[in-house]
Structure 1
Amino acid sequence: MKEELKSTTEILIDKLESWWTLFIRNLPNIAVAIIVLLISYFASRFVFKTTLRLIKGRIQQKSVAKLIARVVSVVTVLLGLFLALSVMNLGDSISGLLAGAGISGIVIGLALQGTLSNTISGIVLSFRKNIRLGNWVETTGYAGEVIDIALNYLILKEADNNIVIIPNKTIMENPIKNYSLTTRMRVTVECGVGYESDLEKVEYITKEVITDSFEQIENAENVEFYFTEFGGSSINFLCRFWIDAENALEKLKAKSKAIKEIKKAFAAENINIPFPIRTLKLDNQTLNIAQTEKEAVEA
């Protein structure tokens, strides 16, 4: 028993001595590796600040800018770690780390597929010039002002002050209409006049009203006017014109103003805008059936 204990102790001491000898032998490499790690750490902080300063002008979203800068910083630290392991002749450890990182990346990618997709879409949206904070956009059935583009979602404020949160992946996969990319919008007004109206006069008055109501319309020739159909109780027409606007609210205000001014002008010229009229024809048999049903209900 004593001999076995002595043998075990000798083996342990020999092992510790071999480790100490290996440590002393590799002490210069360890010192260089520590210096490399320290340099990579301070370099990562410098890279983080520099990257953040460079991309802050192109990306308005602070969260996205910090994410990109942090990714670049982490890459710098990882490069320093691999260099340190190489200095210490730990090639097997580097291979193990790379293999583990690859497997971990696959597992994490499968588990967070939706989240990663939204995050990547948020980064892409941040670099796109056709959508910015303050733009009035319409997408996936919603229209409003872009008030934030976060890592995972885009936030719209609709005209009724409701907040809509849309995943970035949905924005990337669907068409988007940006009203703020152009400074002009076309307003369409539809109306109808009575059959007894002078159609030439109706067209003239409508064009003059629109021209006088909006300063950006230089003359009546810039106003489109078309009679569209013989309606049930009126002859309907379509009037279109362009205004200087960057969001749908300005377009809505212009349409409202045009409707009010057209109504005033038509009333002043005794031009009738008729109500919808429906004529019902009832024969004696229908009236008798209705009277019988009424008497049955009262009984």
Structure 2
Amino acid sequence: MAQDFNINDSLQGVWEKLGMWMDSLILSLPNFLLAVLVFILFIVAAKYIGKILSSVLKFKVKQDSIREITIKIVKVLVIAIGFFVALGLLNLNTVLTSVLAGAGVVGLAVGLALQGTLNNTFSGILLSFLPELQIGDWIENNGYAGKVIEISLRSIKIKEADNNIVIIPNSQVIDAPFKNFSRTPRSRVMVSCGVSYNSNLEQVKDLTIETIQSLYPPSTNEEVEFMYQEFGDSSINFVVRFWTNARTKKEILIAQSEAIITIKKVFDQKAINIPFPIRTIDFSNTLGIEKSSE
């Protein structure tokens, strides 16, 4: 026969259970207060670490958004460490293990889902600290050339010479070679030309070097270089290389234009011919023409 339900015994059991929980709470109260204190200390530490990091990054990173995101990430990491330390002080090893396991699974899932985005994000952080690439530089990358106007966590934005905006993902900038015209104050400029076959080649060489040296005086350890390249169809071709102050592609084009104008003017004064392309047409007729008899 089933035992009759006794409400007094049930209430007694509930009170005993609550008493055990209360005793456990009182015993663990010091650890709880210590855990709360440690967690608060980590929050305060994250705040001051963020300020110190902001002062350091102010001289390293020009992009404000990247600097702020980096500081936030560091703060979150410090607070997360404080959270796990507090759980350890509460002897919640099982909870701590479960949280870490869950974080690992969630992190793996998020990482696989956002692989491309995360790659661009980390590449953007690397680019922000890369001294070879700064806002305002003129670069060539992935077939595009322009001035860097923005570096974000996803991409860099450049403005081309035709005023069009090109957005390149950070991962492509990191993985592909890029040319930066703005990292060096001096650039070497090359101009190609040709003179007629009856020209005095020594005179042409000396005159060209003298002209370029007067237009763009070389600095220490620099020189104007002149080399004949080939016997062309209608001219003997040469290239002259010289140095000038240029940090952008436009400045290099300006230097080339000025050099071409000056060389042409000097050659005209010295009667040195820059020939047009010449084509010879043979009109000889080897076929006999027979006159019809009347």
Q: Is residue 2:263 matched to residue 1:262?
A: yes
Contact 2:46 2:75 in 1 (8 A): yes
User: In the TM superposition, what is the alpha-carbon distance from 1:32 to its structure 2 partner?
Assistant: 2.5
What TM-score, normalized by structure 2, do the two folds share?
0.85
User: In the TM superposition, what is the alpha-carbon distance from 1:267 to its structure 2 partner?
Assistant: 2.1
Listed as ranges, the matches of 1:116-195 within 5 Å are: 116-195=118-197
Taking the aligned partners of 2:55 and 2:234, their CA distance within structure 1 comes to 66
Gaps of 5+ in 1: 287-299
Q: Secondary structure at the match of 2:134?
A: coil
Listed as ranges, the matches of 1:212-251 within 5 Å are: 212-216=214-218, 222-251=223-252
Q: Is residue 2:79 matched to residue 1:82?
A: no
Contact 1:135 1:178 in 2 (8 A): yes
Contact 1:211 1:217 in 2 (8 A): no
Contact 1:145 1:156 in 2 (8 A): yes
Q: Deviations over 1:139-175 (max 9, x none)?
A: 2222222222211212222233222211111111111
Q: Secondary structure at the match of 1:260?
A: helix
Q: Is residue 2:204 matched to residue 1:198?
A: no
Taking the aligned partners of 1:126 and 1:104, their CA distance within structure 2 comes to 28
Gaps of 5+ in 2: 288-294
Taking the aligned partners of 1:7 and 1:160, their CA distance within structure 2 comes to 88
Q: Secondary structure at the match of 1:276?
A: coil
Q: Deviations over 1:219-271 (max 9, x none)?
A: xx932222222222222221111223222222111100000111112222332
Taking the aligned partners of 1:217 and 1:76, their CA distance within structure 2 comes to 52
Identity %: 43
User: In the TM superposition, what is the alpha-carbon distance from 1:16 to its structure 2 partner?
Assistant: 4.3
- Equivalent residue for 1:52, pick from 51, 54, 57: 54
Amino acid paired to 1:31: L
What TM-score, normalized by structure 1, do the two folds share?
0.83
Amino acid paired to 2:275: P
User: In the TM superposition, what is the alpha-carbon distance from 1:83 to its structure 2 partner?
Assistant: 2.2
Taking the aligned partners of 1:6 and 1:262, their CA distance within structure 2 comes to 114
Query: Relative to structure 1, is the Cα distance of residues 11 and 276 closer, same or farther in structure 2, using a 3 angstrom cutoff?
Result: farther
Which residue is equivalent to 1:23? 25
Q: Deviations over 1:38-72 (max 9, x none)?
A: 22222222222222222221222222222222222
Q: Is residue 2:57 matched to residue 1:39?
A: no
The structure with the greater share of residues assigned to helix is 1
Which residue is equivalent to 1:208? 210
Taking the aligned partners of 1:132 and 1:283, their CA distance within structure 2 comes to 66
Taking the aligned partners of 1:79 and 1:267, their CA distance within structure 2 comes to 77
User: In the TM superposition, what is the alpha-carbon distance from 1:180 to its structure 2 partner?
Assistant: 2.4
RMSD after superposition: 2.8
How many correspondences in the alignment? 284
